[in-house]
Structure 1
Amino acid sequence: MKVISIIGHKKTGKTTLVSRLTKQLSRTGKVGTVKSMIYHRFNPDDTDTSRHFDSGADMVTALTKDEFVTISKNPDIEKALDTLADNGMDYAIVEGDKNSDLPKILLGDMDDDRHIKNVVEQVPDVSHINTDKIIEIICSQPDWVTLDLLVKKVKNNPEIKKAGAIGTFTGVVREITSEVQTKMLEFEKYETVAEDKINQISVELKQKPGIVDVLIHHKSGRVNPGEDIVYIVVVASHRTELFQTLSEAIERVKSEVPIWKKEITIDGNYWVHDHG
C-alpha cells in the first residue's frame, strides 16, 4: 500500500487535494483515507455507541444502512494505516498528522517547516497542484505492508483455485537473547538489490511442484521489540509442499538477501549479517 500525508494550515486546500487524489487513484486501485481530528470526537455524546464506548468497551462497531464504522481506543496513525492495509487498500491518503514520519505533501508554509520530517513536495496552494505529478510521487514511496494484506493478495491470485493451504511466517524482534536485552533493531538494505533478490527467490520457489504463489516482504529501518520484521506467505496445493517451501524461503531470505542488522542493546551496539 502506498502512503502519503497532506499537511498545511487551515484553508490551504488539504481536503480538496485529498478528494482529487482519491478520485484519480480510485481508477487504478482501492483508496483509504485517514483524517486527523485531534480536537473532535467522531463518536458524539448521547448516542448509543458513545454510551457503549464510555462504559468501557475497547472497540465499538456500528452498522447503518450504508456504512460500517468501527471506533477504537488508543488512536495511533500506524494502527490506522495497518487497518487500511489489512482491508486490501492499494493507497492511503492521510489528511494532517504533520508530526509523523510519513512522506508528506506540504501546502503553503508552516511556522515549523524545518522540523517537519520527510516533506517530499511543497507547493504554494492547491491551485498550483499537478495531481499527475503528485500521484507519481505517491507511487514512488515505499510500500506499507501487513501480513493480512499479503494474504489478501494471494487470495486474489486467479490460480488460488489450485490451492489447498496457505502458510505464513512472521519474524519478530526478540527482546531477550540469553541474558542480552535488545532495545531495537535497525535494518539497512541495498533497496534495489535486496528487492530484486527477494523477487528472484519468490519466482524460483513458485516453480516448485505444487506451489501456487509466494510473497515475501522484509522491513527496513528501525524495528522495536515485539514488532514484525519479515513476512513470508506460501500458497500450495498440499501441506507437505507448503511447509517444505516455507522453510526454504525463510533460510534463503536469511542467507541470500543483502540486508544488515544493527543490534541496539543495553550493553552496546553492533552490526551483524544474520538477521533472523
Structure 2
Amino acid sequence: MDINKAIAELKKEPGFAENVGMMLVHNGVVRAWSRKDHSEVTAIEITSDLERIESIRQEIEARPGIFRAVAQANSGRMKPGDDVLLLVVAGDIRENVKPALADFLDRVKSEAVSKREIFA
C-alpha cells in the first residue's frame, strides 16, 4: 500500500483536474491495543472480502461529485504498525467527498472486513 503512488496515479487520469477539488485518504493501521479494553495486542488476523469491497467502491464512486474511489485491503496476520486498509475518495467539493469517505470506511469495516485480535 503506497498512498503517494495511489494519489499520483489518480492525478494522471483524464478528467482529474476538471473534476477534483478534494481527495481524502484513510490509512488504517494495526493498533498495539484492543479497542474493547486497551489490552495489549501483538498481532491481528484480518480477512478482507475483496469482492464486497469492490461492490461498495463502485457504489461510492457512482455518487454525485465523486470522480474516483480507490480501495486496497490486506488480509492475513499482521503486527502493530502494519497497513491494513487504504481508501481514497477524490471528488469535486467537500460536501460530497467527506460523507462519501465516511460511508466508504464504515461500510467496508462493517460489511467486508473481519479481524481477530491476538493478545500478549
Normalized against structure 1, the TM-score is what?
Answer: 0.40
Q: Deviations over 1:45-91 (max 9, x none)?
A: xxxxxxxxxxxxxxxxxxxxxxxxxxxxxxxxxxxxxxxxxxxxxxx
Q: Percent identity?
A: 27
For the residues of structure 2 that align with 1:207 and 1:236, how far apart are their CA atoms? 11
For the residues of structure 2 that align with 1:200 and 1:241, how far apart are their CA atoms? 19
Residue 188 of structure 1 deviates from its aligned partner by 2.8
Are 1:213 and 2:68 matched, yes or no?
A: yes
- Pick one of 134, 138, 154 that aligns with 2:10: 154
Greater Rg over alpha carbons, structure: 1
Task: Give the aligned residue type for 2:3.
Answer: L
Are 1:164 and 2:21 matched, yes or no?
A: yes
3-state SS of paired residue (1:226): coil
Structure-1 residue corresponding to 2:43: 184
For the residues of structure 1 that align with 2:38 and 2:27, how far apart are their CA atoms? 23
Are 1:254 and 2:113 matched, yes or no?
A: no
Residue 256 of structure 1 deviates from its aligned partner by 1.6
Task: Give the aligned residue type for 1:186.
Answer: E
3-state SS of paired residue (2:63): coil
Task: Give the aligned residue type for 1:175.
Answer: A
Residues matched between the structures, number: 117
Residue 220 of structure 1 deviates from its aligned partner by 0.8
Q: Deviations over 1:10-45 (max 9, x none)?
A: xxxxxxxxxxxxxxxxxxxxxxxxxxxxxxxxxxxx
Tell me: CA distance 1:262–1:242, structure 2 relative to 1, closer, same or farther (3 Å): same
Are 1:175 and 2:32 matched, yes or no?
A: yes
For the residues of structure 1 that align with 2:52 and 2:15, how far apart are their CA atoms? 24
3-state SS of paired residue (1:180): coil
Are 1:245 and 2:86 matched, yes or no?
A: no
For the residues of structure 1 that align with 2:105 and 2:42, how far apart are their CA atoms? 24
Task: Give the aligned residue type for 1:184.
Answer: A
Higher RCO (Cα < 8 Å, 6 or more apart): 2
Could you tell me which runs of 5 or more consecutive residues in structure 1 were left unpaired when the two chains were aligned: 1-144, 267-276
Normalized against structure 2, the TM-score is what?
Answer: 0.89
3-state SS of paired residue (2:80): coil
For the residues of structure 2 that align with 1:159 and 1:202, how far apart are their CA atoms? 19
For the residues of structure 2 that align with 1:248 and 1:176, how far apart are their CA atoms? 25
Residue 159 of structure 1 deviates from its aligned partner by 2.4
Residue 232 of structure 1 deviates from its aligned partner by 0.4
Tell me: CA distance 1:261–1:158, structure 2 relative to 1, closer, same or farther (3 Å): same
Residue 209 of structure 1 deviates from its aligned partner by 0.8
